[in-house]
């Protein structure tokens, strides 16, 4: 979305009725249009994005903060001191209210995000604690102490939650350092007390498929090789956050036991370093090729190290019995029992190069961090000095051009095999093809099969990556890259149009119908692939995903309904009702059979004068809590071959759905959730206006 906006109003309207016009790129039509939005659209977007309801639904997190706060306040009182609490980044005010309930003598909370600060004030008042909590509308680093300051004196208890998947990615180091230097007494108690980062070296072809593009094989033959620059690239700098517990235990092999590699003392007793490197000598427990590092962290909440909050995956979680940790099937059951967190996932760090290691032969696992991020290196043998190693960055363009999900999709051997099989039926040595997809290696496959290929590549980084593949495979003379729609070849020059389809601007699966719009620039007599797109859906009961939008109501005994109202109102103003999620990470149980929303014939050109409206009912075939509908697209390549971006097996009502790990599905989450009975029905409707690329779904019990 472009940031340029125009304000439209008439003098007769009150200020609150102003509108803004925002220029938006429609992913289907490829046309930038002006859309009228509420004047507070940006505000609503910010508020909706600030929602952290899944964190507040985390009962274990809340409970352990509560217990640790109570212990800290008790300890100060037993020492004959007042308990003066500072809550940094209070959000809803939950931790401040906990401190007040636990008997703190004073509580000062700070919150810099104005809408959330206003909400916290209301929540604190509605819970009858406005006389016990002082809220400062500032960042903690801007707070002052002393006469006429934000705090009359320094606090002696700090409670804060400034952590993310990487632990330090939200600026925890600078927050704690400043607090100890300016806002806290010398012997303050900090909740949490310390944090430990764990690392585990693994071998996993499935996991590394998200990082490096591999050659495309046809049986034993290599059709497309990956350029050396891409194979040697360290990958994207950003951490790959992931629900590691959803990876089956037989999909990776641990090569080292989990190692505690970094420890951060939040109490101020030890310095917090912005730049640090450590080396751990370890004996591999298996022989293999090290592909990646799995990382997670835990928090010791109290000074006595009695309260542990762990973010470990199921196979290393302290609450999972050791006898279960080697049992793949039991582990999958246990994964549903340990606390679910979308705010604190685990992470994958890809090694700069794959390292063969041998069981029992010493290696050095080297970890680095700056103020916000971690990275790792694995070295065979002993080292005298820890080597310098800059934070890895992509220097091949591919990891910047394509998401990790897309890279995994390019490496999906089963998917590639179906496309190759369909292309072989269509392509001869005389074929002239037009490929309409971004970063499509199938264009190279078609050229390898003998065709001359035009490839539309409008994105600069994707185009540069494709050029590298062409040079590495000696196909630059058979594949011509077209940089803009205006330069597409004439209809008489081509005899076959194909695509995956995949486009960089597409978020939900049906936005890849951009292929249909582009193909419709040509007569429908020109053969196409795919030939049909079917939008499909299934009613589901998510185990946890619904928590990202679910209201809180009462949380740990405090009424947070004001927060629910704030976030849900803004979400309705700014959020698309259908979101994209990698559903393989989020377990769900089917409550209905899969059903077709609409089947679109892609061999016909788009009818821009048409308005498509369809509706129907689908029966629930199992009872449960219907909190969402999952949506995807099946692409029919020819009469015999199809590719799905949805489930990878048959959907059976009452059973878990297995989802394609290399695509994202569409998700409709119900705002009002009800239990449904077998035999009742889900009503749905779908509207598609091709001229404007407008797609709308509605679902009701």
DSSP E strand boundaries for 270-345: 276-282, 288-300, 308-310
Q: What are phi and psi of 435, to 5 degrees?
A: -105, 120
Q: Are 671 and 568 in contact (CB under 8 A)?
A: yes
Q: ∠ at Cα 346 (345, 350), nearest 5°?
A: 135
Q: Each residue of 394-403: b (16+ CB within 10 Å) or e?
A: bebbbbbbbe
Query: For 64, left (φ over 0), alpha (ψ -120 to 50), or beta?
Result: alpha
Residue 69 CB: number of other CB atoms within 10 A?
A: 28
Task: Spell out the SS3 assignment of 611-668.
Answer: CEEEEEEEECCCCEEEEEEEEEEEEECCCCCEEECCECCCCCCCCECCECCCCCEEEE
Which residues lie closer than 8 Å to 463 by C-beta, 6 or more apart? 457, 481, 483
Buried b / exposed e along 555-579 (16+ C-beta atoms within 10 A): bbebbbebbbebbbebbebbbebbb
Packing angle between helix 114-126 and helix 41-49, nearest 10 degrees?
A: 60
Show Cβ contacts of residue 37 under 8 Å, excluding neighbours closer than 6 positions. Answer: 19, 20, 21, 22
> Is 126 a catalytic site residue?
no
How far, in Å, are 340, 544, 553, 638 from residue 548 at the CA level? 11, 8, 14, 39
Catalytic residue among 161, 316, 500, 579: 161
The backbone region for 679, taken as left when phi is positive above 0, alpha when psi lies in -120 to 50, beta otherwise, is: left
| Cβ neighbours for 329, distance < 8 A, ≥ 6 positions apart | none
Q: Which residues of 665-700 are buried (b: 16+ CB within 10 A; e: fewer)?
A: bbbbbbeebeebeeeeebebebebebeebebebebe
Burial of 149 (0-12, 13-18, 19+ CB in 10 A): exposed
φ/ψ (deg, to 5) at 542: -70, 140
Q: Cβ(564)–Cβ(550) under 8 Å?
A: no
Burial class (CB in 10 A: 0-12, 13-18, 19+), 615: exposed
* Three-state SS at 160: strand
Does residue 161 have an active-site annotation?
A: yes
φ/ψ region of 327 (left if φ > 0, alpha if ψ in -120 to 50, else beta) reads beta
Two tokens, residue 467: 């050029």
Spell out the long-range contacts of 340-343 with Cβ–Cβ below 8 A and sequence spacing 24 or more. Answer: 340/58, 340/543, 340/544, 340/547, 341/54, 341/55, 341/58, 341/61, 341/311, 342/54, 342/243, 342/544, 342/545, 342/547, 342/548, 343/52, 343/54, 343/55, 343/58, 343/164
Catalytic residue (choose from 60, 81, 130, 170): 170
Give yes or no for a contact between 240 and 404, defined as CB atoms under 8 angstroms apart: yes
| SS3 at position 499 | coil
Helix H or strand E encompassing 408: helix 404-410
Q: Scan for tokens 């099937």, then name that residue.
A: 329
Q: What tokens were used for 515? A: 């292929």
Residue with tokens 């917090």: 272
What is the bridge-based pairing of β-strands 624-636 and 532-542? antiparallel
Torsion of CA 319, 322, 325, 331, to 10 degrees: -50
Residue positions annotated with a catalytic role: 161, 170
């Amino acid at each position: 979305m472009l940031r340029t906006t125009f304000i439209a109003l008439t003098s007769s309207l009150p200020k609150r009725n102003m509108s803004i016009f925002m220029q938006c790129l429609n992913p289907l039509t490829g046309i930038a249009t002006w859309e009228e939005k509420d004047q507070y659209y940006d505000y609503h977007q910010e508020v909706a994005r600030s929602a952290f309801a899944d964190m507040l639904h985390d009962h274990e997190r809340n409970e352990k903060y509560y217990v640790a706060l109570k212990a800290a306040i008790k300890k100060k009182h037993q020492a004959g001191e007042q308990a003066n609490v500072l809550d940094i980044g209070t959000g809803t005010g939950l931790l401040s209210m906990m401190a007040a309930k636990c008997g703190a003598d004073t509580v000062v909370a700070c919150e810099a995000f104005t809408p959330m600060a206003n909400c916290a004030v209301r929540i604190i008042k509605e819970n009858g604690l406005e006389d016990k909590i002082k809220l400062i509308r500032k960042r903690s680093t801007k707070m002052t102490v002393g006469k006429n300051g934000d705090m009359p004196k320094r606090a002696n208890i700090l409670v804060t939650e400034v952590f993310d998947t990487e632990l330090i990615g939200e600026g925890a180091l600078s927050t704690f350092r400043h607090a100890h230097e300016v806002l806290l007494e010398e012997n303050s108690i900090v909740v949490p007390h310390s944090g430990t980062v764990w690392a585990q070296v693994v071998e996993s072809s499935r996991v590394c498929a998200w990082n490096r593009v591999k050659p495309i094989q046809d049986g034993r033959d290599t059709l497309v090789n990956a350029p050396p620059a891409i194979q040697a690239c360290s990958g994207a700098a950003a951490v790959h956050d992931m629900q590691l517990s959803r990876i089956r235990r037989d999909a990776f092999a641990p090569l080292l036991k989990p190692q505690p590699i970094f420890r951060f003392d939040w109490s101020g007793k030890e310095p917090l370093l912005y730049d640090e490197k450590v080396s751990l000598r370890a004996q591999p427990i298996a022989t293999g090729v090290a592909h990646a590092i799995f990382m997670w962290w835990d928090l010791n909440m109290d000074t006595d190290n009695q309260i542990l909050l762990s973010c470990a995956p199921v196979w290393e979680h302290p609450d999972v019995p050791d006898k279960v940790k080697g049992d793949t099937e039991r582990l999958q059951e246990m994964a549903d029992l340990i606390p679910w967190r979308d705010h604190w996932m685990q992470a994958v760090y890809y090694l700069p190069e794959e390292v063969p290691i041998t069981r029992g032969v010493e290696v050095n696992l080297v970890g680095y961090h700056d103020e916000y991020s971690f990275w790792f290196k694995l070295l065979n043998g002993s080292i005298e000095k820890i080597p310098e190693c800059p934070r890895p960055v992509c220097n091949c363009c591919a990891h910047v051009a394509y998401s990790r999900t897309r890279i995994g999709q390019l490496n999906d051997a089963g998917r590639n095999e179906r496309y190759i099989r369909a292309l072989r039926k269509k392509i001869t040595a005389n074929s002239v093809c037009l490929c309409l997809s971004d970063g499509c290696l199938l264009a190279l496959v078609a050229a390898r099969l003998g065709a001359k290929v035009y490839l539309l590549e409008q994105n600069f980084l994707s185009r540069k990556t494709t050029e590298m593949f062409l040079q590495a495979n000696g196909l630059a003379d058979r594949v011509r890259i077209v940089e803009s729609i205006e330069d597409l070849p004439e209809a008489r020059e081509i005899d076959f149009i194909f695509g995956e389809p995949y486009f960089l601007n597409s978020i939900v699966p049906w936005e890849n119908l951009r292929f249909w719009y582009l193909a419709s620039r040509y007569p429908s007599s020109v053969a196409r692939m795919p030939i049909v797109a079917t939008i499909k859906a299934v009613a589901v009961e998510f185990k946890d995903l619904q928590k990202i939008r679910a209201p809180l109501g009462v949380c740990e005994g405090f009424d947070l309904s004001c927060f629910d109202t704030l976030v849900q109102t803004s979400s309705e103003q700014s959020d698309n009702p259908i979101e994209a999620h990698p559903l393989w990470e989020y377990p769900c149980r089917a409550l209905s059979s899969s059903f077709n929303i609409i089947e679109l014939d892609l061999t016909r050109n788009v009818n821009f004068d048409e308005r498509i409206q369809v509706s129907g009912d689908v029966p629930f075939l199992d009872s449960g809590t219907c909190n969402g509908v999952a949506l995807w697209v099946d692409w029919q390549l020819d009469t015999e071959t199809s590719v799905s971006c949805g489930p990878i097996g048959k959907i059976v009502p009452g059973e878990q759905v297995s989802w394609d790990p290399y695509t994202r599905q569409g998700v409709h989450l119900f705002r009002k959730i009800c239990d449904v009975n077998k035999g009742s029905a889900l009503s749905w409707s779908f509207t598609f206006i091709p001229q404007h690329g407008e797609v709308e779904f509605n679902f009701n019990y």
